[in-house]
Structure 1
Amino acid sequence: MNTVDGLVIIIYFLLLIFVGILGSRRAKTSEDYIVAGRNLGFTMYLTCLAAVILGGASTIGTARLGYEFGLSGLWLVAMLGLGIVVMGIFFSKKIFSLKVLTISQMLTERYNAQTGVISALVAAIYAMMVSVTQVIGMGTVLHVLLGWNLTFSMIIGGTIALSYTILGGMWSVTMTDIVQFIIMTIGIFAIMLPMSLSKAGGWSNLQAELPTSYFGISSIGGMEIFQYFLLFCLGMVVAQDIWQRLFTARTLKVARLGTLGAGIYSLFYAIAISIIGMCAFVAIPALNDPQTAFTSMALETLPTGILGIVLASVLSALMSTSSGTLLASSTLIVNDIIKPLVPSMSEKIFLKASRFTTLATGVVTMIFAVWIQDVLVALDVAYAVLSGSLFFPIVFGFFWRKATSKAAFFSILLSAAVILIGLVVQGITATEPIVYGLITSFISFVTISLTSKQTQISTNPKLPKKQSVS
């Protein structure tokens, strides 16, 4: 990579740190640090939500799928977008009205403290594993660009995202996400997509050079599409990092319209990145590692200076999701696990604990990234546990009055165990463990709820009556 491009990326990193420092000045209370004071307008909310959705797997992973399967590689991100649209239509009003900070807090108020703690552990692991995918993606990009050791590249990229997240929490994340969204949109849609098509000889040449299957939207396979639905569409509805962004909206109208807008934007992003992967297959047909399809295509296609902007856009997508999920994981740990043990915790101590926990989570994230080193594998593990364990307890908690505390607790425990055992036995890319987990969660939840007796009222008036065993 040319020195000019390297300077562009370094300047971008410095800009993020500077914006992160500005954001830290606004983080005076726990709500400032965790949900940006619940004060974001439509434009800021939409851009920040889109930025956290579209990260490493969305960019690096979808380009890889486009390289291997063609247009049907869009399903990964399309299911993320569909999940966000479902949330906007059916859940945004219910979630926004709760005025809580985490998913686990909602489950505590709907069921009991034990359910809140176990859900916090599951959701925190999910958020951390999504951060792992972003660190792997950052490492892959920097490794290809600069020729650095992959492990060293992961540590450098992860450390930068971790630094500004620790400084100002959600305000820093929000302000950097706006910058990242702008760079990401320009880099992908205005530069990378048209120049990739040009390099591949245009759409007509793609049709001539690629197999016919590359233009079918189902060629990736029905089972793979179904797996993406279970993982990503359902996962978006119950993801702490997404809920936490929704809580930053100033009004319900902002939350609902911004969520729908981010979902639609995700679909266009999915199509663009898949086509870039297809172009890479034509231009560079013998890649040793398809995971490098996007960065290799950028190096092959873009002129000096422009290359730096586009690669900064990729790093934008990675860092925005990484910072959001790091914050989500640390919020769950501090708010739902540590704080209940120290009920007298002051605002000042809460902020210090949040920053320290974010640091610790970031270090563990980088260790896991170095160990796993495959962006799609890490993403599959994260969403498998999340979707299979928490989807039914949360949905039933909103819509079914007979849902009980005992049912919620045991369904989470049993489904998580089934999923993890299934992933060990059948492999971490298998679809069946997710299906088994969802079935286990549904059957155990319904069965136990129907045999439990209502004795209490929910502590939150926006939730149905709490059910428990008398």
Structure 2
Amino acid sequence: MEYLNMTIVVIYLVAMLGFGWWGKSRTRNASDYLVAGRRLGPLLYTGTMAAVVLGGASTVGGVGLGYTYGISGMWLVVAIGTGVLLLSLLFAPTIQRLKIYTVSQMLSLRYGSEATKVSGIVMLAYTLMLCATSTGAYATIFVVLFGWDRALSIAIGGIIVVIYSAIGGMWSITLADMAQFVIKTIGVFALMLPFSLSAAGGFDGIAERAGSEFFNITGIGAQSIITYFVVYTLGLLIGQDIWQRVFTSRTPEVARWGGATAGIYCILYGVAGAVIGMSASVILPDIASRDDVYADIAINVLPIGIGGLVLAAAVAAMMSTASGSLIAAATVARTDVLPYVRSWTTRRDARSATTGTRIHTKPAGNAEAHDVTASRWWVFGLGVTAIALAIVVQDVVAALTIAYDILVGGLLVSIIGGLVWKRGNGLGAGVSMAVGTLVTLGTMIYLEVNAENQYDGIYANEPIYFGLAASAFVYIAVSFASPPTSPAVMSAWEDRVAGNVPDDEAPGVEASAGGASALPDRP
């Protein structure tokens, strides 16, 4: 009967390839490939936003935390849901109206400064490591279910994600994510939660056999709760993988309320995962690793067939994060990083004959810069790279932590500052990113060298705290001490924020004589 569970998972994997071909039929241009034509309505947008943020850490990890810490194991996923809520209610409508493709483009448009282009490199590192981490995570399900070697599991699962992502881009990923959202909802809320809770004797049975401390909302510890909010909530506000989903929404209202609905869903998902883990601690008290709890419940507690669907839900959660981060990495690499690296050796029209400068940020909106075929090759190439990283690098989580810390400690202030503070300028943003990144890395290295345990090293919170503080101080001080952003740049920015730019117009602004900041034409 175990073969039935295996068959269900195999059918799911084949279906993901089918969604790739289905999405290909809807992909006619670069906008379709990268942001699903900016046409997603409330249902598709809500489902795909929830799918991309609820990965292996939220599903398998959330259940494992509930197994160890009780109801307080929910805080990791609650922090993720809170990040989605804040992004959606505070910033998503503005982000949607920009009609861009990357976070780095927002910085270029807002500040008109070449200093902000380095953000693309940081974002690429973050999205690539997130993809590698997710790829390694869903391979653990294949190891348990099929008995495959870890490297083979990573390769097979990764190839499936790369194929359906590369074929149809964001449309394929959106359709696959919607299916994954449905499977996760059924698997966790309709099947796993009631079956496991019933087998544990309900909440009374859990309290009787596990103790009332399992219902302590802060049982996991204040330090861990703070960590989740600092890392995940703040990271979600500025991550390219999340912003790229915002870009897919049809209207600012869809971005706000569809995203808010997804945030609430995430919070409920976190509570459900913690309760499932609490139930498992009573039913299966001797599980050695909390990362195995989810799979053990599916195989040993749930009926045959239902267990297969639940395992497919776990794979769905991890694949949705992997595919979302993969296309985000490809978009950043092609749109931001490649032109920036080329500019180190090739400068064309760096400055105009006058003091003014032409600012061109033309990403995937034009065929020359972002044709679909080339984008497919970027997705394929970075997907293979992520698979190799997942196989070769044993501590991918440490690499992801470093990328997350730099993302938040180095870039958060300049990005959010650009959205909310008009006086912030390009020089302040550029220096802020440099100082925040250096302080974050420096603190991390110092703590790692002098670490007495893992919480004092790379995984400590202090690097983000110091990086954010230094970044904010420098951003404000330098912005006040230097001239404000050029009126021409600010005027173009405000037009775009107001939604006065047609959907098919590539981001760009012309600044004539009068002291506009310098941004060279892209090669």
TM range (shorter): over 0.9
Is 1:353 aligned with 2:383?
no
1:411 maps to amino acid: S
Give 1 or 2: higher helix fraction: 1
Aligned to 2:470: 440
Distance change in 2, residues 1:25/1:209 (3 Å): same
Is 1:268 aligned with 2:268?
yes
Give structure 1 stretches of 5+ with no counterpart.
none
TM-score w.r.t. the length of structure 1 is 0.94
* Residue 386 (structure 1) shift: 1.8
* Residue 237 (structure 1) shift: 1.1
Aligned to 2:437: 416
Aligned to 2:229: 229
- Which segment drifts farther, 457-466 or 11-20? 457-466
**Aligned partner of residue 63 in structure 2, secondary structure:** helix
Distance (Å, rounded) in 2 between the aligned partners of 1:220 and 1:100 = 40
Q: Deviations over 1:334-366 (max 9, x none)?
A: 111235659797358632332222122212222
Output aligned runs, 1:392-403, within 5 Å.
392-403=413-424
In the alignment, is the contact (CA less than 8 A) between 1:162 and 1:362 conserved in 2?
Answer: yes
Q: How many aligned positions are there?
A: 470
Is 1:430 aligned with 2:460?
yes
Distance change in 2, residues 1:349/1:435 (3 Å): closer
2:471 maps to amino acid: S
Q: Deviations over 1:372-394 (max 9, x none)?
A: 55686565444322222221101
Aligned alpha-carbon RMSD (Å): 2.4
Is 1:185 aligned with 2:189?
no
**Who wins on radius of gyration, i.e. which is larger?**
2
* Residue 220 (structure 1) shift: 1.1
Is 1:385 aligned with 2:406?
yes
Distance change in 2, residues 1:299/1:421 (3 Å): farther
**Aligned partner of residue 195 in structure 2, secondary structure:** helix
- Which segment drifts farther, 365-374 or 140-149? 365-374
2:418 maps to amino acid: G
In the alignment, is the contact (CA less than 8 A) between 1:132 and 1:378 conserved in 2?
Answer: no
Q: Deviations over 1:226-254 (max 9, x none)?
A: 11111111111111111111111111111
* Residue 198 (structure 1) shift: 2.2
Distance (Å, rounded) in 1 between the aligned partners of 2:78 and 2:397 = 15
* Residue 328 (structure 1) shift: 0.6
Is 1:123 aligned with 2:123?
yes
In the alignment, is the contact (CA less than 8 A) between 2:298 and 2:308 conserved in 1?
Answer: no
Distance (Å, rounded) in 1 between the aligned partners of 2:339 and 2:45 = 28
Output aligned runs, 1:19-38, within 5 Å.
19-38=19-38
Output aligned runs, 1:8-407, within 5 Å.
8-112=8-112, 114-339=114-339, 341=342, 346-347=367-368, 350-372=371-393, 377=398, 380-407=401-428
In the alignment, is the contact (CA less than 8 A) between 2:71 and 2:214 conserved in 1?
Answer: yes
Distance (Å, rounded) in 2 between the aligned partners of 1:335 and 1:91 = 22
**Aligned partner of residue 493 in structure 2, secondary structure:** coil
Distance (Å, rounded) in 1 between the aligned partners of 2:287 and 2:112 = 52
**Aligned partner of residue 371 in structure 2, secondary structure:** helix
* Residue 443 (structure 1) shift: 1.4
- Which segment drifts farther, 447-456 or 318-327? 447-456
**Aligned partner of residue 70 in structure 1, secondary structure:** helix
Q: Percent identity?
A: 38
- Which segment drifts farther, 269-278 or 454-463? 454-463
* Residue 141 (structure 1) shift: 1.2
Distance change in 2, residues 1:375/1:334 (3 Å): closer
1:111 maps to amino acid: Y
Distance change in 2, residues 1:468/1:389 (3 Å): farther
2:231 maps to amino acid: L
Distance (Å, rounded) in 1 between the aligned partners of 2:485 and 2:126 = 33
* Residue 202 (structure 1) shift: 2.2
Distance (Å, rounded) in 2 between the aligned partners of 1:283 and 1:41 = 42
Is 1:452 aligned with 2:482?
yes
Distance (Å, rounded) in 1 between the aligned partners of 2:444 and 2:281 = 31
1:369 maps to amino acid: A
Distance change in 2, residues 1:5/1:228 (3 Å): same
